[in-house]
Structure 1
Amino acid sequence: MSSETSSTLTIAREEFSDVRESPARWVFLVGSRPVVGVGLFVVFLVVFYALWVFGYVTLQNKTAMQYILSSLISGNLTLVTLVISINQVIISRQLNSPGELREDIENVNEFRERVFDPEQVDVVPVTPSDFLKLLLESIRRDLQRLGGLTARADDDELREDTDELVSGITDHVDRVIRLIEGSGSGTFDTLSALLTTNYADRIYQIRRLKSKHQESLSEETEEYVDDIVSTLQQLDVARQYFKTLYIQTELAYISRVLLYAGVIAELVLVSTLLALTASGPNLPQVLPPVVAPLVAAVGLLPLAVLFSYAIRLAVVSQRTIAITPFTTPEQEEELNL
């Protein structure tokens, strides 16, 4: 078995373990959004049919059913209007003058050049996953050099504190690199690998080490400590930038999927309401009990789609709401979702 295949299988086992040990985390963050949306739609369907089977809903009141259908129709129309507003906001942010576009390009290029030394890296990757992987590998190299320098120090406490710090950050770096290598190259795939760490806390630990052992650190060691802090700060900047890209992309995709779901729901609801309001000897006076729960579930389909995507946006925003050197209680908590 090749090393690449073995690595893929390892990542697959880790993802399966995440789903098994934390189903909520899969639903709210790492799971496929279409699967989550379809799952919620099935839950709606099962609940409605259960209410009918156990006799809690009789489905014989025509006026009540017309009222429910009318409410669903108006609610979905409001949702579609909201989707159009989201689209307008996204489009307005992408309409820039040539000067503004040039300024944005220069700012991004300046950030890329500041992160990597041109003498060490000839060409900086353009994809988020490759860029992040190169940045993490740079951090790991500096950590190994820092550990090697302090290993020769006479201060036993310095060696112990440094070994603990280097080991903790290196383990995180290795884990993130494995996640990147075993996942796709999409923006969220890259961003999700950075949601389980607190860089403000890591930087605080490094600066505390430097302050505590100021007299025992050599000038070269202090330089590596400062380089690691600087690179971690750049990594947090990259995370925030990837979050911006992800949110803009996701909002555009949500609006499109919601339009599809809204059109389907409105078509089913309006057709059913017209059938109930029509009169004639061959037309049904009430909605057939077997069909009514399905119609109600279809009416809530846009809500299922909105939930599946919006909940992940909320989790991502919560986990990255602050940038270094500050943090929040939400970012201090473990990502149990």
Structure 2
Amino acid sequence: MGSSEPDDTLESYGTDIGSQTSSLARLREWVLVEANRLLIAASISLFVFVFFLVLSELGIISFVNDDSVTRLAGGMIAGTFSLVTLVVSINQLILSQEFASAGNAQNQLAEIMEIRADIAAQSNVPASPASPTKLLELLVETIAVHASELADATTAHDDSEHSELVRTFTNSIEESTDRTRDTLEHTQFGTFTAVSTAVEYDATWQLYVARQLREQYGDSLSSAATTTVDELIETLELFITAREHFKTTYLQRELTQFSQLTIYCGVPAILAAMTIGLLYGGFSGAMISGSYQPYIISGLIAIVVSPLSLLASYILRTAAVTRRTASIGPMLPQKAPEEGPFEVSYGDDMD
């Protein structure tokens, strides 16, 4: 690897902040992770209402046939019961993770306190912040400080190729940390913005590059630069660990909220499906005027699908977050085999 292509070879292939440039990509990102889940669920239900109303106005469907509507109502009742039962099972699974014996709870507390102590020591603070957002912000700031120190330690080095490579790497870190800190400063944990910002920060790629620099060029770097690289690697590892912990905690809260909302919407959904069937229970057919049928039935169907709308909106977000953090450490499943600055094969470390 030469110094003539440092920008290309050290390009991040992760999910770094600010990578979405096109309008379609930003809209997709907004729908998947950024938008309020209740807003997405309400939009889906509204779309269902408009969809059936338009089909009725165009004469493609009709709400006149009693047998068709009652069969539809029966199917919706069964489907809603199944969905609510599934959500209750998911909620019980989440709650089961909260049950722990005294020994397990003590071990979990000891592990968390050990990580927090490591973060405090690495960041040169008396104690790590209690707020998850402030803790992540502190780690990002520490990463930026180590990157700046690494750049300073490499500036005076005689090897211009390695100096240029390290400066390119540290410049990319400083740009990423600046964007991340700006976002974290205006967010609170409990909103998805904090978790999304931590997930989007490309610490995994930075850890990969830092480890490669340390192992391949450690002998040619100064002692100060080598020490700083080791500190940067340790801080990145702590950031990834903290991010995974907070991501898990947030997703537990997210899925618990989803379970509650599904129960809240499940009862009205079942009542709406029953109402559809009862509206066509008379001997003379529908109990409502034909001019109002499309609006009433479409509205009731929109209520019936509200639990499904909630399921779709929450699963879209949790699946997107889980996919982007499918691995821990410098294992990049989204990265193509031919991409990246470092190519190694068996025996490369043997002279």
TM-score by length of 1: 0.87
Deviations 1:121-178 (A, max 9, x none): 1121111100001111111111111111111112211221111000001111111111
Q: Which residue of 2 aligns with 1:253?
A: 257
Matched, 1:193 2:194: no
Deviation at 1:229, TM superposition (A): 0.9
Q: Is the 8 A contact 1:37 1:305 kept in 2?
A: yes
Aligned residue for 1:50? 54
Aligned partner of 1:91 in structure 2 is: 95
Distance 1:21 1:80, change over 3 A: closer
Q: What is the DSSP-based 3-state SS (H/G/I as helix, E as strand, rest coil) of the residue aligned with 2:86?
A: helix
Q: Answer whether contact 2:180 2:197 (CA < 8 A) is retained.
A: yes
Give, in whole Å, the separation in 1 of the partners of 2:164 and 2:335.
Answer: 30
Question: Cα distance, 1:29 vs. partner?
Answer: 0.8
Question: 1:163 aligned to 161, 164, 167, which one?
Answer: 167
Give the direction of change, closer, same or farther, for the CA distance of 1:131–1:119 in structure 2 (3 Å limit): closer
Shift of 1:216: 2.9
* 8 A Cα contact 1:187 1:246, kept in partner: no
1:208-252 CA-partner distances (Å, limit 9, x unpaired): 333443343111210110110111111111111112101111110
Distance across 2 between alignment mates of 1:321 and 1:30: 19
Residues 198 and 331 (structure 1), Cα distance of their counterparts in 2 relative to 1, 3 Å cut? farther
Provide the residue aligned with 2:297 in structure 1.
Answer: 292
Aligned to 1:222: 226
**Structure 1: runs of 5 or more not aligned:** 1-13, 333-337
Opposite residue 324 of structure 1, the aligned amino acid is G
What RMSD in Å do the two structures reach over aligned CA positions?
2.5
State how 1:86-165 maps to structure 2 within 5 Å: 86-117=90-121, 120-165=124-169
SS at match of 1:80: helix
Structure 2 gap ranges (5+): 1-17, 338-351
Distance 1:281 1:121, change over 3 A: closer
Partner of 2:306: 301
C-alpha displacement at 1:184, in angstroms?
2.8
Distance in 2 between residues matched to 1:288 and 1:313, nearest whole Å:
38
When residues 246 and 32 of structure 1 are mapped into structure 2, their CA distance, relative to the original with a 3 A threshold, is: same
Give yes or no for contact 2:189–2:195 (8 Å, CA) kept in 1.
no
Q: What letter matches 1:98 in structure 2?
A: A
CA contact (8 A) 1:318 1:330 kept: no
Shift of 1:40: 1.1
Give, in whole Å, the separation in 2 of the partners of 1:217 and 1:118. 22
Identity %: 27
- DSSP-derived class of the 2:249 partner: helix
**Cα displacement (A) at 1:284:** 4.7
Compute the displacement of 1:191 (Å).
1.5
Q: 1:329 to 1:119 in 2, by over 3 A?
A: closer
For the structure 1 residues 258 and 158, does the alpha-carbon distance in structure 2 shift closer, same or farther, using more than 3 Å as the test?
Answer: same
Question: Residues 55-80 of structure 1, C-alpha deviation per residue, up to 9 Å, x if partnerless?
Answer: 10121111000001111111000011
What is the rounded CA distance, in whole Å, between the counterparts of 1:138 and 1:185 in structure 2? 20
Deviation of 1:187 (Å): 6.1
Q: In the alignment, is the contact (CA less than 8 A) between 2:77 and 2:274 conserved in 1?
A: yes
Normalization by structure 2: what TM-score? 0.84
Amino acid of the structure 1 residue aligned with 2:319: A
Q: What amino acid maps onto 2:304 in structure 1?
A: G
Q: Secondary structure at the match of 1:130?
A: helix
Q: Tell me, yes or no, if structure 1 residue 184 matches structure 2 residue 164.
A: no
CA shift digits 1:247-281 (9 cap, x unpaired)? 11111000001111111111111123123224479
**Which structure features the higher share of helix residues?**
1
C-alpha distance in structure 2 between counterparts of 1:212 and 1:163, whole Å:
16
| Superposed CA offset, 1:169-196 (max 9, x none) | 1111111111111223326322200232
Is the Cα–Cα contact under 8 Å of residues 143 and 228 in structure 1 kept in the other structure?
yes
Q: SS of 2:293's equivalent? A: coil
- Classify 1:272/1:330 alpha carbon distance in 2 versus 1 (closer, same or farther; 3 Å): farther
Q: 1:94 to 1:326 in 2, by over 3 A?
A: same
Q: Distance in 2 between matches of 1:276 and 1:35?
A: 32
Is contact 1:66–1:276 with CA below 8 Å preserved after alignment? yes
Q: Following TM superposition, by how much is the alpha carbon of 1:21 offset from its aligned partner in structure 2, in angstroms?
A: 5.9
Structure 1 residue 321, shift from structure 2 partner: 0.8
Contact kept in structure 1, 2:123 and 2:138, CA below 8 Å: no
Amino acid at match of 1:125: P
Which amino acid counterpart does residue 55 of structure 1 have in structure 2? G
Q: Aligned to 1:311, which of 312, 316, 325?
A: 316
- Is the partner of 1:289 in helix, strand or coil? helix
